[in-house]
Amino acid sequence: MKKFVPFLFFLSFLSVLFIGVGQAAADAPKLYLNGKPLESDVEPAVVNQTTLVPIRVIAEGLGFDVIWQKESKKVIVHNGETRIEFTLDDRTALVNGEAKTLLAPATAIKNRTMIPLRFVGENMGLDVYWDQKTKTVQLFQQVKPADPPPAEPPKTETPEIPAKGKLKSIEYNGLGSVILRYEGDVKANKPFVLNAPDRIVLDLPDTAFASDFLPEPPVKGTGGSLTVDGHPTLTKVRYSLYSDKPSTIRVVLDLTAPTNYTFTEGQGELRIDVLDAAGPAPSQPPATEPPATDPSKPPAKKYKVVIDAGHGGHDPGAKSVLGYNEKELNLKIALKLYELLKKEPAIEPYLTRKDDTFVALDDRAKFANDLKADIFISIHGNSFTPSATGTETYYNRSDSKQLAEILHQHVLKATGFKDRGVKTAGYVVIKKTTMPAVLVETGFLSNKDDAAALQKEETQNRIAQELVAGIKNI
C-alpha cells in the first residue's frame, strides 16, 4: 500500500543492479520470460551502466537456436525468421544481415555471452519491464496480433512533432485506484479488457513519458511496472512506450480474475478504479450449511488441499547434480503429502498429477479453481549455481502471504537448509489460482548437499509431515 514515485523507483532499480555486480549473487535481479523464471548460471550484470543479460537462456526460451562458433568467437541466434550474429568484444551485431550497434560489446562472463538487455528487447520482439519490488527483469514476448490495436491515434502529418501530453507519474493509492498524472494534453482511448490473463488496457495516444519518469528516454517496447499489494484481483500495473511514431503509452492492469472498473478523466489526471471481481457479489453468506444439531453426522464440508507436483512427463524440471530429475522428487514428496492428508478427517487432498505425466500450468490452476480448493501447494526443487543452497517459498497475491509464511517455516524445519525466505513471484500456478496458493522450492538440486539430502526418503517424509503440520496450523 505504498505510494509510488516512478523516478525513485527507477533509481532504486538501477542501484539494485549496481549493487548486484559487486555483491552477493542473491541481490542480483532475476530474469523472467513470460512470467516464468529463466534459469541461468549467470545473472544479469551491469557494466558501464548497461544491463547485460545472458543471451543463450533468453534465446532458447524464445525458441531460437543458439550456435557458438569458437574460432570466430561468434554467437548466432536464429529461428528461421530472424538471424542475429554477435561477435565477442564487438559492438556490432548483424540482424538479418543488417549491421546494428550495441550499447556495449558482447561480453563473456563465466563463459556465457552477455548482450545489452535493450538490444535483446528491441530485436527479439520482447517487452522489457523492471519490477523493483520482486527485483526481477520481466520479459514478455510481444503478442500484438492477440491484442486489439489501440483506436486510431490522431494522424499527424509531421512525424517529428512532439507528443501533446507527458505522463508524469503512475501510482496505486492502496484503495483500488490507479492514478495517472500528466501535463499538457492527453486524450486517452477508452480502456478495454482482455482475458487469459485478465487485464485492463489503457492507451494514451500522442503521449510520451515526462523526462523525469524514467532515468533515460525509453525506446519502443520498454517501460516499467508497479506491483500492487492488498487488492483482491489487481496484482500489477505495467506501462511501456507502445509505439514511438506517434508516441503512444500503454498501461496494463494485470488482474487475477475479470474485474469491473470505472474510468474517470480529470484535470491533469486519469483514474481507473478497480472494483471487486466481476459477477454477482453474494449479498449474504449462502445458507447451505445445515445447523449443527446432529453430532453423529460427519462435517459437512472438508478442507480441500490441492497438491501440485511441479513438472512431469516431457518436462523434467531441473536436473540434480546426482542425476535424478526434479519432477521425480516433486512427485515423491507430493504423494507422501497426499497419503498423510488422506488420514486427516477434516481434509480432502487432491493431486494435479499422480504419476509421471505432463500437465500444463494453466490446467493445474484451473483444476484447483474448478474444485474451489481452499489452498494450493506447488512443490518444486530449485536450480542455480553449485553454491546456491536453501529453501524458499513463493506466493503471488497478498491473500497467500500468510499461508506462504506458515508453510515456509515448516518446510525449513524439515529440510534444515538455509532460510532463503518468503518471496513473491508471478508463477502461473500461484498467480492463476484463485485460492491462497504457494510454491515451495524445497532446496537446490544444483547443490550437491541439498540434492543428496532431498534424495533421502527421510527428508521427503519430514517435508510431507511438516507440510501437514503447517496446513493444520493455518
The residues of the shown chain that bind Zn ion, judged by CB under 5 A, are: 310, 317, 380
Q: How far is the CB of 445 from Zn ion (least distance, A)?
A: 9
Report whether 127 contacts 240 (CB < 8 A): yes
441 is catalytic: yes
Q: How far is the CB of 379 from Zn ion (least distance, A)?
A: 9
Q: How far is the CB of 363 from Zn ion (least distance, A)?
A: 16
Task: Name the residue nearer to Zn ion (CB basis): 85 or 392.
Answer: 392
Report whether 27 contacts 19 (CB < 8 A): yes
Closest CA to 154 of 188, 184, 183: 188
Q: How far is the CB of 370 from Zn ion (least distance, A)?
A: 23
Task: Name the residue nearer to Zn ion (CB basis): 113 or 330.
Answer: 330
Q: What distances in angstroms separate CA 252 from CA 128, 186, 205, 249, 453, one per listed residue?
A: 13, 17, 14, 10, 43
Q: How do the residues of the chain divide into helix, strand and coil, expressed in percent and rounded to 5?
A: 25, 35, 40
Task: Name the residue nearer to Zn ion (CB basis): 30 or 380.
Answer: 380
* Distance (Å, whole) CA 434 – CA 375: 9
Q: Tell me how many degrees the CA angle 304-309-310 measures, rounded to the nearest 5.
A: 130
Q: How far is the CB of 328 from Zn ion (least distance, A)?
A: 12
The residue from 441, 457, 458, 466 that is catalytic is 441
Sheet holding 199-205, edge to edge: 192-194, 199-205, 247-255, 234-244, 223-227
Residue nearest to Zn ion (CB): 380
Contacts with 31 (C-beta within 8 Å, 6 or more apart), sequence order? 37, 38, 40, 43, 44, 53, 54, 57, 58, 136, 137, 139
Task: Name the residue nearer to Zn ion (CB basis): 205 or 317.
Answer: 317
Q: How far is the CB of 325 from Zn ion (least distance, A)?
A: 10
Q: What distances in angstroms separate CA 260 from CA 63, 105, 123, 193, 198, one per listed residue?
A: 36, 47, 36, 10, 11
* Distance (Å, whole) CA 231 – CA 175: 8
Sheet holding 269-277, edge to edge: 207-209, 165-172, 177-184, 269-277, 259-266
Task: Name the residue nearer to Zn ion (CB basis): 178 or 425.
Answer: 425
Catalytic residues: 441
